[in-house]
Amino acid sequence: MARGVYIHIPFCHQICNYCDFNKVFFKNQPVGEYIEAIGQEMRMTVEKNPTAFVNIETIFLGGGTPTSLSVEQLTRLMELIHLYLPVNNVTEFSSEANPDELTHDKLLVLKKYGINRLSLGVQSFDQEILKKLGRTHSNDHVFSTLRDAKEVGFDNISIDLMYGLPGQTIEQWQETLDIAFSLELPHFSAYSLIVEPKTIFYNLMNKGKLSLPGEDSEAKMYDMLMHQMEAHGLKQYEISNFAKPGFESTHNCIYWENDEYAGFGAGASGYLDGVRYQNIGPLKKYIEAIENGDFPLLNTHVVTKQESIEEEMFLGLRKIDGVSKQHFIEKFDLPMEQLFSNHIEELVKEALVENTEDALKLSYKGRFVGNEVFQQFLLDS
């Protein structure tokens, strides 16, 4: 049964140099047809398995950039969501947004149709770094958008930040943090740069033209982030996420708790009825599949019990509260120590995890090398 719904809007007016998500330039794209196709995918999916959607808690519009849509296009998308999805029990309805695209009229549309959480892609408050990233907004765009959003009635607002960026110094990161805290927002997400294949940064790195901070500097930035978020009343509840009490992202918690969700749109992924799936990525092929009355699936995979156990561990360990031992027993009918006692013992010795009576969780030290810890919970086939 789905707890959440993700809807992918792949359009961007500018492609960022680090982004590897499924996205296309907005110009000359079949935007209207795509929105109608998403509506039909939602209809087909809910009709096939209506009981899976009766209790959805969250809807998340991601991308790409949902706010690249015009007011009319955004309105039509919201109409289709309300037409085909049972939204009555949704408590968190989120949309990603670019600060230089989220106009007053678009804010009114989002508010009218029930969006109650905004996630702004800010990344940095240093204009030179923003240019390196391929971002087009300015700090003034951020400040004016936040003022506008609060005037319209949004109080659950998050911004994304990035560190370990090309040419970024400790001082620049500190300045970005200082400005971020001055905004007095209830939620922040902060990610270190990962240079992904098929990005401009990846090509530059292969040519030796991408100057990144070293591991020590990146670790220092993360340490600064964690300490200063805590000092400003923002509790770290996941490796990269910080919130004031009550403002944690329910939608993202669905992923980390290894629960089920539906994904709609080109390239979107989902997890329903024990099956992980991914949709066709290219827009025209996605639209063609829908118009032919077919589900736009690229691939499906039935998750085995072993895989589910592995996912439960490496997703759950991202949460600061860790993996609940009682929940693990209820879900898999055996204690986690029965499978991982040697690994847990070794990680405790290395001070990378804390093994309490109720949960297994990353230690402070372990948060810096999370991926290395997660790999310890891959079972032998």
- Copy the structure tokens of residue 85: 């999805």
Average pLDDT on 71-100 reads 96
**Domain assignment of residue 276, yes or no:** no
For the stretch 194-232, pLDDT in tens is 878 878 888 888 888 888 888 999 999 999 999 999 999
Examine the fold and report which residue of 214, 235, 256 is the final residue of a domain before the chain moves on. 256
Pairing of strands 187-192, 157-163: parallel
Write down which residue in 216, 231, 256 finishes a domain. 256
Residue 68 sits in the same domain as residue 156 = yes
Q: Residue holding tokens 């901070």?
A: 213
201, 328: one domain: no
Domain contains 289: no
Nearest Cα residue to 122 out of 189, 168, 199: 189
Average pLDDT over the chain, rounded to whole? 94
pLDDT at residue 372 greater than cutoff 70: yes
Residue 139 belongs to some domain of the structure? yes
Percent of the chain residues topping a pLDDT of 90: 85
Q: 91 and 172 share a domain?
A: yes
Looking at the structure, do residues 323 and 235 belong to the same domain, yes or no?
Answer: no
Q: Does residue 332 share a domain with residue 251? A: no
Residues 326 and 248 both lie in one domain: no
Higher-confidence residue of 380 and 294: namely: 294
Give the chain's domain count: 2
Contact 126, 175 (CB under 8 A): yes
Give the mean model confidence (pLDDT) for residues 148-165. Answer: 97
Same domain, 250 and 163: yes
Clarify whether residues 49 and 127 are in a common domain. yes
Domain that holds residue 189: 4-256
Is residue 263 domain-resident?
no
Q: Give strand pairing partners of 56.
A: none
What CATH number did the domain enclosing 120 receive?
3.20.20.70
Asked if the model's pLDDT at residue 24 lies above 90, the reply is: no
- 281 in a domain, yes or no? no
For residues 218 and 328, state if they share a domain. no
Question: In whole angstroms, how far apart are CA 80 and each of 41, 87, 96, 284, 313?
Answer: 11, 11, 18, 20, 36
* Domain assignment present for 286: no
pLDDT of residue 381 exceeding 60, the answer is no
Residues paired with 243 in a beta bridge: 187, 235
Residues 261-295: tens digit of each pLDDT:
999 999 999 999 999 999 999 999 999 999 999 99
- Which SS3 state, helix, strand or coil, does residue 22 take? coil
Question: Residue 25: pLDDT band by 50, 70, 90 thresholds?
Answer: low
Q: Does residue 290 form part of some domain?
A: no
- What is the predicted pLDDT for the residue at 232? 98
Kindly state the helix (H) or strand (E) to which residue 82 belongs, with its residue range: helix 71-84
Residue 344 and residue 342: Cα distance in Å, rounded? 5
Residue 228 belongs to some domain of the structure: yes
One domain for residues 238 and 333: no
pLDDT tens sequence across 249-265: 999 999 999 999 999 99
Q: Which of 220, 237, 256 is the last residue of a domain?
A: 256
Q: Provide the pLDDT for residue 200.
A: 81
Q: Are residues 246 and 328 in the same domain?
A: no
Amino acid of residue 284: K
